[in-house]
Amino acid sequence: MTPAAAPVGGAARTLEERIRAQAYGLGFDLVGLTTLGPAETAAAFDAWFARGYAGEMHYLARWAAERRDSRRPHPGARSAVVVALDYGGRSPSGPVARYARGDDYHDIMREKLRELHRWIEGEVGHPVNGRPYVDTGPVLERDLARRAGLGWFGKNTNLINPHIGSFFFIGALFVDLELAPDAPFQADRCGRCTRCIDACPTDAIVEPRVLDATRCISYLTIEAREGMPEELRGRVGALVYGCDICQEVCPWNVRFARELADGSPFAAREVIAGKGARALAREILAMSQEDFAAEFRRSPMKRAKLRGLKRNAAVVLANVGTTEDVDVLTRALADPEPLVREHAALALGRIADDS
Closest distance to ligand SF4 from the beta carbon of 212 (Å): 9
Q: Which is nearer to ligand B12, 123 or 188 (CB)?
A: 188
Task: Name the residue nearer to ligand B12 (CB basis): 116 or 170.
Answer: 170
Query: Which of 3, 49, 46, 44 has its CA nearest to residue 23?
Result: 3
Of 98, 110, 117, 155, the residue at the interface with ligand SF4 (CB under 6 A) is 155
Residue 135 annotated among the catalytic residues of the structure:
yes
**Residue 303 CB neighbour total at 10 angstroms:** 14
- Computed over its alpha carbons, how large is the radius of gyration of the chain? 21
Residue 249 interacts with ligand SF4 (CB under 6 A): yes or no: yes
Q: How far apart are CA 186 and CA 67, in angstroms?
A: 21
If we measure between CA atoms, which residue out of 346, 310, 325, 322 comes closest to residue 234? 346
Q: Which range in 36-44, 84-92, 195-203, 296-304 contacts ligand SF4 by CB under 6 A?
A: 195-203
Q: For residue 347, which of 321, 324, 327 has the smallest C-alpha distance?
A: 321
Alpha-carbon gap, residue 211 to 202, rounded angstroms = 11
Q: Does 238 bind ligand SF4 (CB under 6 A)?
A: no
Residues that bind ligand B12 (CB under 6 A): 41, 44-45, 48, 57, 60, 97, 99, 134-135, 139-143, 153, 156-159, 166, 168-170, 209-211, 213, 216, 218-219, 222-223, 242-244, 246
- Specify the amino acid at residue 78: R
Residue 320 touches which member of ligand B12, ligand SF4, none, C-beta under 5-8 Å by kind: none
Stretch that binds ligand SF4, among 9-17, 68-76, 118-126, 240-248 (CB under 6 A): 240-248
Q: Which residues touch 151 (CB under 8 Å, ≥6 apart)?
A: 30, 145, 159, 160, 161, 162, 166, 185
Residues 52-81 that bind ligand SF4 (CB under 6 A): none
HEC profile of 172-213 = EEEECCCCCCCCCCCCCCCCCCCHHHHHCCCCCEEECCEECH
Of 29, 69, 86, 135, which one is the catalytic site residue?
Answer: 135
Q: Number of residues in contact with ligand SF4, rule: CB under 6 A?
A: 23
Whether 32 contacts 3, CB under 8 Å: yes
Contact positions vs ligand SF4 (CB under 6 A): 154-156, 190, 193-196, 200, 202, 204-205, 211, 216-218, 243, 245-246, 249-252
Catalytic sites, residue numbers:
135
